[in-house]
Amino acid sequence: FGVTVTYSHERVLMGTAGAAKRLAPFLDEPFVVAYGDVFTNLNLTRLIAAHHAYQRLESCDTLATLALYQVPNPTACGLVELDAAGRVTRFVEKPPPDQVFTDLANAGVMVCEPEILRFIPEETSFDFGREVFPAALAAGKALWGQAIDHTEYLIDIGTPANYDRAQQLCPA
């Protein structure tokens, strides 16, 4: 397929962003982050194309383009508020029920610019949703959202029920 895979073994869990920071020496161009508990048929080509389009629109301020999907339980996800153009205006990771403002959530798949790594300290457990995205927004950097297409699916396989559901979609 012409794809290079680089991985890092974590003796101590580094969080979603801390793990990416450990790979910084290899990340000198836009890169894809996909959380390990995501089972999806997401069209990465479309997400990458959207990211490049947003880069042209906002110049160098674009740090990431997040795949987004609607969720039945918004308190279990990182929620995203967008403006009319698709730019992220607010990101709240797993809010309590009284602070839910949408059902649009981070799908755990994103295209990132290497510059995003500047928001992540060295050798520290750090999370994109809890720390990096809010800090980037506070610094005036652009994050964009791209809703998954109706033909695509995304299942968080972090629970036995969802893992079973994913296996039914893709039997051995």
Give me the residue spans of the domains in the chain: 15-169
**Percent of the chain surpassing pLDDT 90:** 81
Per the prediction, the chain carries an average pLDDT of: 93
Q: What is the mean predicted confidence (pLDDT) over 138-167?
A: 92
Which band of pLDDT confidence, cut at 50, 70 and 90, is reported for residue 140?
very high
pLDDT at 171 over 90: no
The pLDDT assigned to 169 comes to 86
pLDDT at 58 over 80: no
**Percent of the chain surpassing pLDDT 70:** 98
The pLDDT assigned to 32 comes to 96
d(CA 50, CA 47): 5
pLDDT at 111 over 90: yes
The pLDDT assigned to 170 comes to 82
What the block records as the tokens of 172 is 């051995």
Which band of pLDDT confidence, cut at 50, 70 and 90, is reported for residue 172?
low
The pLDDT assigned to 59 comes to 61
pLDDT at 92 over 90: yes
Q: Distance between alpha carbon 94 and the CA centroid of its chain, in Å?
A: 14
pTM over 0.85: yes
Amino acid identity, position 140: G
Find tokens 């698709």 and name the residue: 86
The pLDDT assigned to 8 comes to 82
What is the CATH topology of the domain spanning 15-169? Answer: Spore Coat Polysaccharide Biosynthesis Protein SpsA; Chain A (3.90.550)
Under DSSP, the state recorded for 132 is I
Residue ranges with strand state E in the chain: 31-34, 38-40, 62-70, 78-82, 88-93, 104-112, 142-147, 154-156
